[in-house]
Amino acid sequence: MRTTDVYVAGVGGFLPEVVSADTAVAEGRYSTEEIERYGLTGAAVAGELPAPDMALAAARQALERSGLTAEEIDTLLYVTVWHQGPDGWCPQAYLQRHLLGGDCLAAEIRQGCNGVFGALELAAARLLAGREGRGALIAAADNFGTPLVDRWRANPGFVLGDGASSLVLSNRDGFARLRSVATRTVPEMEQLHRGTEPLFPPGATTGGQLDFGSRAGAFFASPDRPADAGLRLFKAQEELIGQSLEEAGVKLADITRVAYMNTERDMVEDRLLRPLGLPLERSTWDYGRGIGHIAASDQVLSFEHLLATGALRPGDHLLAIGIGPGVGIGSAVIEILRTPDWQTR
């Protein structure tokens, strides 16, 4: 999807205190072998701070930095992975009440850790079809600190972190331009994140632990698994990245940095960087390894970090890529137009 008339006007993030992997080892929740194998050094842990309050903090920061008013926002998309509050309650309404008010479209997006890319597609489409001078706010937040999650071992190669991120898009102006965004699904791999767990009753209602490692093991042991499952995923990702670059009107050589999921080094290199011919230093792995996998917020938090540290400057391009259950893949290209005002304050 070409989105050359969609701009990034504001970006915000919220990260609670980071607990080091060494501390987790001392407490018996992780091991030195896992640190050496995966290279992950910490996870942001929010304690009892609710995810919607973290989302509100990140969204408020993004809106303030954008220069847009609450009245100019006509789309609010709240991306979630884990439980947000009381069952049957809509967390996007919490942000709308405490930040925006009014009667804008507000919706929750549940596409797993790939959700921000789906939100970008939806928000961009509304901005391109809407009146000039309008904005869209995307927020993502999760707190995994519940009894049903062992954040250090729920998914091999990951440690789960808590936090929030937010973007404000505009169809009028911004410090960056969203050049393209695209998503793709490999439905043959749907069972990868489900395993053999029953669909009913939901595991959260029976006290079942979140264990993606066991689910993946069940998928790969299943006779129904496509023999070329991994190849299909790799091919879909390769095609999607090619599509994103073409629609953005840039080449891989024009990409300054790549933002991926906050996961183990081997996964970043083997699944993404090496096939693209890029070194680890062009990625955001060194930042992400220290805060944990913040669900759908990884790429946006990395984007903010690159801006804050001066690693992205006017004329640079960021390629953001994510993968989530489905199996869904997302990709976006962002061009930096000017140094954001908040960076120079």
**Residue spans of beta strands (DSSP E) within the chain:** 7-14, 18-20, 42-44, 73-79, 105-109, 135-142, 163-170, 176-185, 257-259, 317-324, 328-336
Claim to verify: residue 145 and residue 26 sit in the same structural domain: yes
Claim to verify: residue 123 and residue 213 sit in the same structural domain: no
**Residue 131 confidence (pLDDT):** 82
Structural domain includes residue 150: yes
What pTM was estimated for this model as a whole? 0.96
Tens-of-pLDDT digits for all 345 residues of the chain?
999 899 999 999 999 999 999 999 999 999 999 999 999 999 999 999 999 999 999 999 999 999 999 999 999 999 999 999 998 999 999 999 999 998 899 999 999 999 999 999 999 999 999 888 899 999 999 999 999 999 999 999 999 999 999 999 999 999 999 999 999 999 999 999 999 999 999 988 999 899 999 999 999 998 888 888 888 999 999 999 999 999 999 999 999 999 999 999 999 999 999 999 999 999 999 999 999 999 999 999 999 999 999 999 999 999 999 999 989 999 999 999 999 988 866
**Residue 103 confidence (pLDDT):** 86
Claim to verify: residue 185 and residue 169 sit in the same structural domain: no
Claim to verify: residue 199 and residue 114 sit in the same structural domain: no
Claim to verify: residue 225 and residue 133 sit in the same structural domain: no
Decide which of 146, 173, 200 is a domain's last residue.
Answer: 173
Claim to verify: residue 18 and residue 161 sit in the same structural domain: yes
Decide which of 173, 198, 226 is a domain's last residue.
Answer: 173
Structural domain harbouring 216: 179-338
Structural domain includes residue 194: yes
Residue 141 one-letter amino acid: A
DSSP 200-245: SS-HHHHT----HHHHHHHHHH-TTS-TTHHHHHHHHHHHHHHHHH
Tell me how far apart the alpha carbons of residues 46 and 14 are, in angstroms, rounded to a whole number.
10
Structural domain includes residue 155: yes
**Residue 291 confidence (pLDDT):** 98
Structural domain includes residue 1: no
Tell me how far apart the alpha carbons of residues 305 and 309 are, in angstroms, rounded to a whole number.
6
How many domains does one find in the chain? Answer: 2
Chain-centre distance for alpha carbon 179: 18
Angle at 307 between CA 305 and CA 311, to 5 degrees: 90
Claim to verify: residue 102 and residue 219 sit in the same structural domain: no
Claim to verify: residue 57 and residue 204 sit in the same structural domain: no
Claim to verify: residue 333 and residue 190 sit in the same structural domain: yes
Structural domain includes residue 2: no
Structural domain includes residue 344: no
Domain at 128, CATH number: 3.40.47.10
Claim to verify: residue 188 and residue 265 sit in the same structural domain: yes
Claim to verify: residue 234 and residue 105 sit in the same structural domain: no
According to DSSP, residue 331 is labeled E
CB 138 within 8 A of CB 120: yes
DSSP 245-256: HHHHT--GGG--
**Residue 223 confidence (pLDDT):** 86
Q: For the chain, how many helices (H) and strands (E)?
A: 12, 11
Claim to verify: residue 147 and residue 202 sit in the same structural domain: no
CB 288 within 8 A of CB 302: yes
Decide which of 116, 142, 173 is a domain's last residue.
Answer: 173
DSSP 56-95: HHHHHHHHHHH---GGGEEEEEEE-SS--SSTT--HHHHH
Structural domain includes residue 82: yes
Structural domain includes residue 207: yes
Tokens of 50: 């609710």
Tell me how far apart the alpha carbons of residues 56 and 141 are, in angstroms, rounded to a whole number.
9
Residue of 128, 142, 140 lying closest to 167 (CA atoms): 140
